Structure 1
Amino acid sequence: MRPELLDRMLSLLPQQGTRPELAQMLDMLHDYPRRGGKGVRSELLLLSAQAHGVQPGSPEWEQALWLAAALELFQNWVLIHDDIADDSEERRGRPALHRLHGIPLALNAGDALHAYMWAAVARADVPGALDEFLTMIHRTAEGQHLDLYWVEHGEWNLQEEDYLEMVRLKTGFYTVVTPLRLGALAASRTPHPEFTGAGLALGTAFQIRDDVLNLTGDPVKYGKEIGGDLAEGKRTLVTLHWLAHAGETQRHVFLDQMRRARPDKSPEVLDDILQWFRASGSVDYAQAYADAEAQRGLELLHCALEEAGTQSAALIRVVETLAQREA
């Protein structure tokens, strides 16, 4: 993430508390933003703004920077809530906020960051940005609801298309669609209609690769525990493809573990299941699906940017890296 974005985010937050308990709250508000992150979404927004004609240093660039800061604040409060909902152990290489301070305090910190996100949107003062953020939050919450509902109700009678619908809602909008559209709005341009289709395809590819990395990635580069999605009972393309082809014995073992709360799952059995996934061909299947979605999304994005008459080389390079991520 660009250093000026972190400075901008932190400038919105209170800098000191009037008593020790509130000083702790301020430390919590600063925690996830200071842990860093790739800043992929804010970078897409800024590159989209430049592709639509915004020059660094201009008043429009200043507006784009505030929108990018708002997007990063969105990412941080959502991650705090997501880690609580998933009972995650780690975030960006350190214990999740609720592991350090407990669920009630972490939830409150996430709520506070949510409010400061709107402060950044207000600072940007870009026509149409408010509606874009509302749409993004609604779509992301719908996708999160599907994800959590299936876990809460032990639902495994799902098809691959169920997962793909959830991912388009939960990941596609806030990862790619909204950054592209906000960049255009910062330039006082109407976002191209194909940004939605391109962004949903690219966001799907991004999430599938993230699911695969959770099973096979380097823990240091990935920033979260390997196998955490399995321990949390996440529905992924890998899992659903494997379930559709697994033998009865392995399927029974898997579903028995998934019926248990995370602390009651057997680490040894989960490790066996992880090896089954890797040996089954389901990981390769998911990677191939992500490749196809990435290619489709890039083709749609190329067409949209060409029709808009934008200088898009830098944006395309970042999107290609996003679509082909390996960490």
Structure 2
Amino acid sequence: MLYTARSMRPELTDRIRHLLPAHSDRPEVNLLYRMMRDYPERGGKGIRSELLLLSAQAHGVQVGTPAWESALWLATTLELFQNWVLIHDDIADDSEERRGQPALHRTYGVPLALNAGDALHAYMWAALLQAGVPDAAPEILTMIHRTAEGQHVDLAWVEHREWNLQPSDYLEMVRLKTAYYTVVIPLRLGAVVAGRVPDARFEEAGVALGAAFQIRDDVLNLTGDAQSYGKEIAGDLLEGKRTLMVLDWLTCAAAEQREVFLHEMNRPRSEKRPDVIRQLLAWLLESGSVTRAQRTADELATRGLTLLTEALSGLPDPLAAGTIVTVAQGLANRHA
């Protein structure tokens, strides 16, 4: 039996539900517990957990064995990581929505949401301890370090109002911020839980695929359907995100368009004008920058899939290995 994102969701949600505390005599602490459960119970695509479990099977872990139990706890660890990072990310970006509902800090305020994210972070380590795989800890630490570095670069650009950037700067940022926790570490953890040394090509493949995934996500933020996307359309413009499309467009935008753009980006999110944002979005879509970004994502996806296929060849479970390639292909070429 191969684990898909849909089939594994109830199992991992149950593990999170049982791991997190449920009741306190103090009503304030009960609120904390509800907030900690909020994002995990909203669901999600579960791509990272799916890649980990498929990688474990590809490397020879059998369902129902102690190693499989460890793999499930590692997948739970990734789910908790994803959710506490999203709480913090929504605060940093002052986002309106997450998975079709108000962001946690919009409902409860920044201080309480920040604390809930910190508490959820602690339970991520509790899940890792349940896995009982000592060699997994360095992988989790690498994941946190790389993600934090990429997030810092992204936030520093916004904080310092830095727009003198090239598309290559964006690609370096997303390789850190997105690729390691989305692809590289899930694949490596699957090998680790099987007692095998991860193939070195997982890193290069995962970096390319993760960057392609983030470009597609940024494109969807401009062109996608709000209901299926799960976040507000054009939210990246409101948040002043340095995306590949924006940086590409700024290299060729007319002087008056660039002036309007930079003036609007210097406004706080709450003071940005909807009519100007709509105009900026129209200029972006007309410029060809989206098409060029998609082309870059295509190139990254092709390179990543080639490397991934090579790295997975000869593993004990070729069906699981082939499914990883299929999942990675959908990840890097997503349009919804």
Q: Per-residue deviation at 1:310?
A: 4.8
Could you give the per-residue CA deviations for residues 96-151 of structure 1, whole angstroms, max 9, x where no partner exists? 00000000000000000000000011110113100000000000000000000000
Could you give the per-residue CA deviations for residues 250-304 of structure 1, whole angstroms, max 9, x where no partner exists? 0000000011111111110000000111111000010111011011000000111
Task: Determine which of 301, 326, 333 is the counterpart of 1:317.
Answer: 326
Aligned partner of 2:129 in structure 1 is 122
Aligned partner of 2:335 in structure 1 is 326
Could you give the per-residue CA deviations for residues 37-68 of structure 1, whole angstroms, max 9, x where no partner exists? 00000000000001101111111110000000
Q: Does residue 1:288 correspond to 2:313, yes or no? A: no
Aligned partner of 1:265 in structure 2 is 272
- Secondary structure of the 2:313 match is helix
Distance 1:162 1:12 in 2: 39
Moved over 4 A (4+): 307-310
Aligned partner of 1:189 in structure 2 is 196
Q: Does residue 1:34 correspond to 2:41, yes or no? A: yes
Q: Per-residue deviation at 1:19?
A: 1.6
Q: Is the 8 A contact 1:192 1:308 kept in 2?
A: no
Q: Per-residue deviation at 1:309?
A: 5.7
Kindly report which structure 2 residues correspond to 1:85-124, keeping only aligned pairs within 5 A, or say none.
85-124=92-131
Task: Determine which of 66, 78, 81 is the counterpart of 2:88.
Answer: 81
Q: Is the 8 A contact 1:201 1:294 kept in 2?
A: yes
Q: Is the 8 A contact 1:90 1:225 kept in 2?
A: yes
* TM-score of the superposed pair, with normalisation by structure 1: 0.99
Could you give the per-residue CA deviations for residues 192-215 of structure 1, whole angstroms, max 9, x where no partner exists? 000000000000000000000000
Distance 1:146 1:111 in 2: 21
Two-structure CA RMSD over aligned residues (Å): 0.9
Q: Per-residue deviation at 1:318?
A: 1.0
User: Could you tell me the percent identity over the aligned residues?
Assistant: 65
Q: Does residue 1:232 correspond to 2:232, yes or no? A: no
Q: Is the 8 A contact 2:20 2:123 kept in 1?
A: yes
**Which runs of 5 or more structure 2 residues have no equivalent in the other structure?**
none
Aligned partner of 1:132 in structure 2 is 139
Distance 1:216 1:184 in 2: 37
Could you give the per-residue CA deviations for residues 79-98 of structure 1, whole angstroms, max 9, x where no partner exists? 00000000000000000000
Task: Determine which of 142, 150, 164 is the counterpart of 1:157.
Answer: 164
Aligned pair count? 327
Q: Per-residue deviation at 1:323?
A: 1.2
Kindly report which structure 2 residues correspond to 1:143-182, keeping only aligned pairs within 5 A, or say none.
143-182=150-189
- Secondary structure of the 2:251 match is helix
Greater shift in the superposed pair: 117-126 or 13-22: 13-22
Q: Does residue 1:50 correspond to 2:57, yes or no? A: yes
Distance 1:127 1:101 in 2: 37
Q: Is the 8 A contact 1:127 1:185 kept in 2?
A: no
Q: Is the 8 A contact 2:60 2:316 kept in 1?
A: no
Could you give the per-residue CA deviations for residues 203-255 of structure 1, whole angstroms, max 9, x where no partner exists? 00000000000000000000000000000000010000000010001000000
Aligned partner of 2:79 in structure 1 is 72
Greater shift in the superposed pair: 122-131 or 74-83: 122-131
* TM-score of the superposed pair, with normalisation by structure 2: 0.96
Aligned partner of 1:301 in structure 2 is 308
Q: Is the 8 A contact 2:58 2:315 kept in 1?
A: no
Distance 2:76 2:33 in 1: 18
Distance 1:37 1:205 in 2: 19
Task: Determine which of 225, 246, 250 is the counterpart of 2:253.
Answer: 246
**AA paired with 1:18?**
D
